[in-house]
Each structure stands twice: as C-alpha cells, then as structure tokens.
Amino acid sequence: MDTTLQDPLVGQLLDGRYRVDARIAVGGMATVYRALDTRLDRVLALKVMHPALAADGSFVERFIREAKSVARLAHPNVVQVFDQGTDGSYVYLAMEYVAGCTLRDVLRERGALQPRAALDILEPVLAALGAAHRAGFVHRDMKPENVLIGDDGRVKVADFGLVRAVDTVTNTTGAVLGTVSYLAPEQIEHGTADARVDVYACGIVLYEMLTGDKPHSGDSPAQVFYQHLHADVPPPSAAVPGLAYQLDELVTSATARNPAVRPHDAVALLGQVLEARAGLSAEQLDAVPPQALATGHHNAEDRTSVIPRSLSVPRPLPVNEPAEYADAAVLNPTSRFERTSQFASEPGPPSRRAPGGSRRGMLAIVTALLLVLGVGAGVWYINSGQFTKVPAVLAVTEAEAKDRLADAGLDTGQVEHAYSDTVERGTVISSDPDVGAKIRDNDSVNLTISDGPETVKVPDLQGSTLAKAKAALEDGGLAAGLVTREFSDDVPNGSVIGTDPEAGTERHAGSAIAITVSKGSPVEVADVTGASVEDATAELEEAGLKVKIASAQVNSEFDKGLVAEQSPGAGNEAAEGDTVTLTISKGPEMIEVPDVVGDSVDDAKQTLEDAGFQVDEDRGLLNLFGNTVKSQSVDGGDTAPKGSTITIEID
C-alpha cells in the first residue's frame, strides 16, 4: 500500500514554491519528501517538522540550528541545505536530493563488506566529518542510516540535526540523544560530546562494515549502554578471521573507551585510515567476507560488487589550501597522532609493515587534509607502473569524458543512456569502472549518459472510477495526489471529472497528479424540522439521501419525538447518497414563570424576557395609558415552555 496517498502534503505547494511529489521517509521529528523547487526547476528533498512539534520552541530552534549549521559546511560529502522556512504550521528545510540508498540498506542486503569497499565508504564520511569538526561542529548521531550512497556512487553524510558547537559543553539532562549502538561512553555516562564521539561512532560503523554485525548487543538499551561503558570493542578479525591487523588497529584506536587516546577528530582518523590502506595488499583489500562466500554476494572480477556503483567521489578542481592547515601538516606532522603513535608500534610483526612508513604517514596526513578541504573527496591509491586511475568524468559531456579517458591512456567502452532528475542532459551519470578505480593501462571504461528527467504524459482519466484512475497513473509512472470532490450534472457520482495538470500534459516520472471526482448532480436538502421521524426519513430517502438519527436529543420548540434539528440544514446542496443527520426533540424546556403582577409594564417585560419568555400586552380599550400589571396568563411560580408567550393584562 502506498501510504503517501494519505499524506496531506503530497501534491501540495509548500510556501508557494516547493511542490511536494512523494514521501521518502518518516522520522521521530520530521518527515522527508521528494519535492520540486518550482522557481529553479530543481528536484530536492524537503524535511518537514511534524506539526505537533512545531508548537514547541525548543524543537523549532533545534530544527533551524540544523539548517544554519549544515549551510556552513560547503563540502562535496555533506548533504547541502538550500533553504529554511515556515508555511502555516509547517517548518521545513529544503535540502539536496540524493537518489540512491543508505549504508544501512547495503549492510542489510549484503552483510559484511570487503575491506576495500568499507574504506571507500569510510574515507568520504571522515572527510565530511573532518570539515564539520574544523568548522566547529560535531555530528553526534553518526550511524549507517545517515550515510547516503547515491546512484552515481557519491557518499554523503546527512542529518546534522543533532549538531552542537564543539567548544560547547552539552548535556542531555537524562535524555541520551543518538542511536545506542553508536554512542560513545562519555555520551552515555556524562551526556557530553565533542568531535571524538563522531570518531567513536565511525569506529563502530567500520566494525559493522567489516563484520556485518554491531560489536555490542543486548535485549535492552541498558545492556548495550553497559557494554559501551565496560567492554572494549573487539578487533574485527575476531569475528572475521583473516582480516588484516591494520584494520583491527583502526577499529581499536577509534573506539577506545578513554576519549583521550582516540584520534582527536575525523581528520586525524582519516590520516590513519589512509596510512593503513597504503600498507594493505590488493589481496587484503579484496578479501571476501565468509558470509559473502556462503551467500554468493561476491564477484572476483568486481572488487566493489558488494556496494552499488563506486563509493569514491571524483576530485573537484584543486583549490588553495589554507596556510594554517598546510603548516600544521608539514611542519608538525606527528602532533595530530601523538596520542595514538605508541599504539601503531605495538601489534603486528615488523615484516608486515610497508617500508618508508614515515613518508607514507606524511602523505596520509596531507591527503587527509586535502580530502577534508574538498580537494580530493575520493580514494587515493598509491601505485605506479601498469595501472592507472579512471579520471573524473562525472557531470561532463560525453565528448569531454572520452577526451579525458584518452588522455589517461584508456579506451571508451559501451555508452549507455539513462534518465536522471539530478544530472544535466548529455553529461555523464556514472562510469564502470568507477571514477578513481585502478585499472590496467589501455582498458575500457563504460559510460552512462543522462537523458535528463524522464517525462510522461498525464493520461485521460475522465469517467474512470477513482480506483482505476489511481491504477492508471501508477501504470503510467505517475502518482495520485490530492483528491477533491465536486458536483457535476454531466459526470456520474464517483467518476473522475478531470485532473490537474490536465490530460496530455508532460510531467516528470513520479509526479503527483491531483484528481477531481464527481459527486453527481446536487440534491437540495428539504426542511424536515417539526416532522415525525418516519415522514422526515421518507422524504429525504425519496430525494436520494441517507438518514442517520443522532444519539442525543435536545429540547426544542417542537413536541417530543419530532425532528428538532437537521444537518445539513434545509436549502443546502448535497450529493446523492450523502447522509442527513436528524436530531430528535425532547419537547420544550419547562421553566418557572416569574410573578410580575403589580410591576410596571417595562419592569415586567424585562423580567419575563430575561427568564426566557416572550411577552404580549393586553390593555383593552379603557387602559391605553395604564402602566401596572393587573394579571398574567401563567401565574407566577408555575412552569411554561421556554420561549413561549406570557400575556400580561395592564391596569
């Protein structure tokens, strides 16, 4: 069942600009939709806070803080925020739309990944977090669900909704934020967080990618909390024998329970990851996890088949590196790793370490900084000789991509075409092998070229039932949007009058189409108040309407058992088959009549009217100028129907 059809926002235009086309995901604080920016004709993601939370100032403040924080992180591996605003009860963020899947989806489908694929994912994640840490922010909620893998292979970090300033001491006041499996011990025990909690979470994510399981488990969050506080994360080779000791070192270093001995931020951990990768052989990087061998989720000819497309991001054009980063990397290369340098010298036989370790360490540090700065957001391979890397060909024209391949000594293989909502028509969506992959000289690279957004024509649905109309839209690559109902003398009740946009209009595949359904010819509702239930029911049913009797009865001017009220009221228009609700009278309300004999006429009338009666004066022919009440039609102290008329005789 497509639950987006019941979502009131789907098919609507939010803030006069963003057309909501489909619901993507629902979280505890917000719902994410795919939408179209009608001003820029750009597909994007809208994150809309749940209306019930929008009334809470602290939630709104936290939501807006996400927009301001992420907007400052102009990095290719961070999901960008374009806009923030409100529309009535809706508070929203307009963000970059990433078509693809999450790391959680990959792990759920594939289980453990090959080390090469795991590092290919981890490096751009650390580059994104490193940029955040250097900008003064910590994510605090790193987990596979927040790692997006685009269809083009790009890796992006999402959901900075829990970010805080790094130099701000934060306290959850008992409500621990984040997902329990990835929380650092200091978050659990003290409720505080700095950049090292992201380092810890990335270590847990790396363990999960290498083994297919989380390191700590339990029947309750409390049991997981206890293990985070009192048990070290085991080396991944304990679960997957044969994994290289360098991978064990990375996990153990990042997940140290004492934050003082962890890499102090994502940049430092990224340097360690790159240095570890440089010391691994191709066989160690491409080791197939045992469960992949058992299930057949591996391919000896495709080292990255465990994940969709490439998980390496092509390098943008070089930029000038800020002097303070360059100086820190070149003049004092060990300062960022002094807390963990002793760890690197203990395990593993010396014969397994690559020669020239200091030079490789220097290169790893500089590479990590370049990745954080966005100069190189993909994987750096240190190799030479008969291998070359696939050059950056994404988002360039087919002709330019072929020229770049030729310049790199590579041939252009098959050229395929595919629709894309995000990649400009005529430019490259993806390559196979992926950008940055090492292949032999003179090998071929296949290209996929964008045909732009896929468009389909809105079908003619007039006269169809609503169910058939929805099915026709789905079959045509569209979705049913807002359904409204109108009277029509020409189209039978329940059949489609038309659509918005109208039939024949071209729209992007997946767009929501509003449907107008006929309520048939209008039926004027007769006035049946004061009639018996039997007579009222017969008259209404004869007009094609249904009748419902309200459970509660009311006092009214009508006698007990007669119709006192009806909804809709007399004279309103209803559709054939609509229901009219009848409320039955309990008879008039009896109230006590005040004694006004001897009062002046004005005082008597005021007293009786205040009590709920109408007043009639009887002066006779001889008392035209009298002003005293001689008698009243209902004696004072007796009861009479509320609203009835009391006649006063004037003397």
10 Å Cβ neighbour count for 313? 29
Q: Are strands 42-49 and 579-584 parallel, antiparallel or unpaired?
A: unpaired
Say if residue 241 is preceded by a cis peptide, omega within 30 of 0: no
Question: Using CA atoms, how far apart are residues 498 and 188, in angstroms rounded to an integer?
Answer: 57
Determine which one of 7, 141, 194, 432 is catalytic. Answer: 141
> What is the spatial order of strands in the sheet that 147-150 belongs to?
100-102, 147-150, 155-157
Question: Using CA atoms, how far apart are residues 553 and 535, in angstroms rounded to an integer?
Answer: 18
Residue 152: closest CA among 365, 32, 314, 37? 314
10 Å Cβ neighbour count for 502? 11
10 Å Cβ neighbour count for 484? 10
Contacts of 447 (CB under 8 A, 6+ apart): 393, 398, 401, 402, 412, 413, 414, 415, 416, 428, 430, 431
- Burial category of 475 from C-beta neighbours within 10 Å (exposed 0-12, middle 13-18, buried 19 and up): exposed
Longest CA span, the chain: 133
Query: Is residue 638 flagged as an active site residue?
Result: no
Residue 432: closest CA among 399, 471, 401, 465? 401
Please, what is the angle between helix 195-211 and helix 245-254, to 10°?
150
Please, what is the angle between helix 115-135 and helix 195-211, to 10°?
170
Q: By three-state DSSP, how is residue 177 classified?
A: coil
Please give, one letter per residue, the 3-state secondary structure of 318-331: CCCCCHHHHHHHHH
What are the respective helix, strand and coil percentages of the chain, to the nearest 5?
A: 30, 25, 45
Q: By three-state DSSP, how is residue 615 classified?
A: strand
Query: Which of the residues are catalytic?
Result: 141
